[in-house]
Chains A and B, each alone.
Chain A
Amino acid sequence: MSPLERRKLFTGLAFSSPWVIGLSVFLLYPLLAALYYSLCDYSVLLPPVFVGLDNYIELFQDKLFWKSLWNTIFFALGSVGLGTFMALTLAILLNSKVKGLTFYRTAFFLPSLMPLVAGSLLWFCMYAGQGGIINTLLAKIGIMGPSWLSDPRWSKIAIIFMAVWGAGNSMVIFLAGLQDVPVSLYEASIIDGASWLQRLLNVTIPMISPVIYFNVIMGIIGGFQVFAQALIMYGPTTAGYPEQSTLFYVLQLYNVGFMDLRMGYASAMAWVLFLIILGLTFAATRLSKRWVTYDR
């Protein structure tokens, strides 16, 4: 290593040191500690006792674990699918030079600024089966609304709708992506006689596919960690109501860890979640090579 290289290494490390230190203290240490705890019987009050893979073995036989995993997959798929579709639709609509653009953009972005707690309470009131605003409006057009939050068939869907309502964030990212699409490509496609739909499918979507990919990955990571909505809407004691249909993975983890004080078991759950997200991200990255186009 030449003196110059060594100096550069030193400078680079010095500049990155806040992150390197932060990484090891706040990520690496807890990550490894959680891995160790997951192999232990640990109740916070007493020092951890090593039990090997017992937690994992019990986990895979736990009905609630599978139930919560299924609920979470359902939510993540629903919210990522619907949310991405909604955000993309909004962004494409807003990307046209329509009058009142500022108003529309504000209208769509505003809900995503709503704190999760306030938003959950608001939707909780709106979803009321009897006399809730949603069912009242549905009744006006002749639809008998379900009792959204107490019907196990609808409770997850209700929470998905609430997540879609906050799609403003990804909409803004899509909008930025759309404005980066070179105008020359559209000009060329118009000269070639492409219709609006053809331009959308053959120019817009491929050009913003990296942005879609980013949003989907972020959505999956976030979707698998859904927690607060269910906790606030149903309260900590009746978590997962009705019929455990809203018992999400992290909610179950929270119950096991902080209610039953089984930190080892909860750590095992956390690591399994990490591996699931890792696997999904990896799969999405592999898949992305087929449909994501990078022009740079």
Chain B
Amino acid sequence: MASPNPLQRTTPIVHLPLLMLAVLFLGPMVWLFATSLQPREQVGKVPPELLPRQYYITRGSEQIFVTPPQVIGLPKVLVIPGGGPSRGQRLLVDPKQFHDGTLTYPVRVAEHLEDQTFPAQLVQSVAPSDVIVKEWWVSKYTKKEARVFYLPASDVKSEVKPVWGNYPEAIKALTADEKDKARPLSELIGLSVFPWTEKGTKGRTITFITYVSNTLLVALLGVTGTVLSSALVAYGLSRVQWKGREALFNLTLSTMMIPFPVLMIPL
């Protein structure tokens, strides 16, 4: 709608550069957000994907979320040897190593490897087109062993589903380990400077809340102090007429030029 005032009139064409630039500026933010909802294995995938995709397999009535499938590419067999260092573990080996219930695999003897044969139990044979998937999001945070599955690619389904769990995990990850427990300042410098702050700090775990409250405290005190003192000084410089106020004001402006590194070392 053309306004009678030419100053109020805008051509819609201005939307074009604005939109293009908005995409450029928001792109990284959108990408950051999208990535924050992806399973860990999807992050850094080549080529990158925008939508969070979770892979899952169905075992009976159980739906198990797994890592993105990787094609095995060679014929293999999955066996459980009954002897040797890998006794009782599931091994993925070349079919040539497995013969009528016996498995031959290299074992470290003194300084070198030597093939030894053990009885073994066949779990399944794996076709070259089959994929390997690992149970996802298990090993690191619940400290359970992640299950590994070898199965035809068509058994692994996927759906677009955000991993909101990344957020609580990130907060949990910021919680320090046992070894990083808070120590009172006096223990670090061998001198008790602020004794009243030390009550109850010893052995407390540093948590997300600690970081947030430290940051907020610094920000709050900083802002309060700056606003209060700046208002005072500004009043003194602008409303009170006194000798030297011009000089102080110019000095104030010129301090903006002082690079922080100059102050960093003596402070």
Residues of A within 8 A of B (CB): 5, 8-9, 11-16, 18-20, 22-23, 26-27, 29-31, 33-34, 37, 89-90, 93-94, 96-100, 103-104, 107-108, 110-111, 114, 122-123, 125-126, 128, 130-133, 136, 165, 168, 183, 186-187, 190, 218, 221, 224-225, 250, 253-254, 257, 263, 266-267, 269-271, 273-274, 277-278, 281
Contact = CB atoms under 8 A, between A and B. Distances in A.
Contacts of A250: 259, 261
B242 A13 contact: yes
B18 A270 contact: no
A200 to B, nearest CB: 13
A277 B259 contact: yes
Interface string B50-68: 0000000000000000000
B236 A224 contact: no
A34 B261 CA distance: 10
Contacts of B242: 5, 8-9, 11-13
Contacts of A122: 28, 31-32
21 contacts: A11-B240, A13-B236, A16-B236, A16-B237, A18-B233, A19-B233, A23-B255, A33-B265, A37-B265, A37-B266, A130-B46, A131-B48, A132-B48, A186-B7, A221-B259, A263-B265, A266-B261, A267-B262, A270-B261, A271-B262, A277-B259
Contact of A9 (B31, B243, B261, B263): B243
Interface pairs A-B: 5 shortest CB-CB: A15-B236, A131-B46, A12-B242, A33-B266, A18-B229
Say whether chain B's binding surface is mostly helix, strand, loop, or mixed: helix
Interface stretch (B19-27, B83-91, B136-144, B188-196): B19-27
Interface string B242-267: 11110010011001111111111111
Nearest to B249: A16
Contacts of B236: 11-16
Contact of A26 (B44, B240, B263): B263
Q: Among the interface residues A18, A98, A128, A190, which one has the most CB atoms of the partner chain B within 10 A?
A: A18
B4 to A, nearest CB: 13
A266 B236 CA distance: 37
A12 B240 contact: yes
Contacts of A26: 263, 267
A131 B22 contact: no
Contact of A98 (B18, B31, B243, B264): B18
A224 B22 CA distance: 28
Interface of B: 6-8, 10, 14-15, 17-18, 21-22, 25-26, 28-29, 31-32, 35, 44-48, 229, 232-233, 235-237, 240-245, 248, 251-252, 255-267
Contacts of B240: 8, 11-12, 15
Nearest to B45: A131
A187 B29 CA distance: 40
Contacts of B47: 131, 136
A257 B260 CA distance: 14
A261 to B, nearest CB: 11
Contact of A16 (B248, B255, B258): B248
Given A8-B241, A11-B240, A111-B25, A98 B261 contact: no
Contacts of A93: 14, 17-18, 21
Contacts of A277: 257, 259
A190 B262 contact: no
Contacts of A278: 257
Contacts of A29: 266
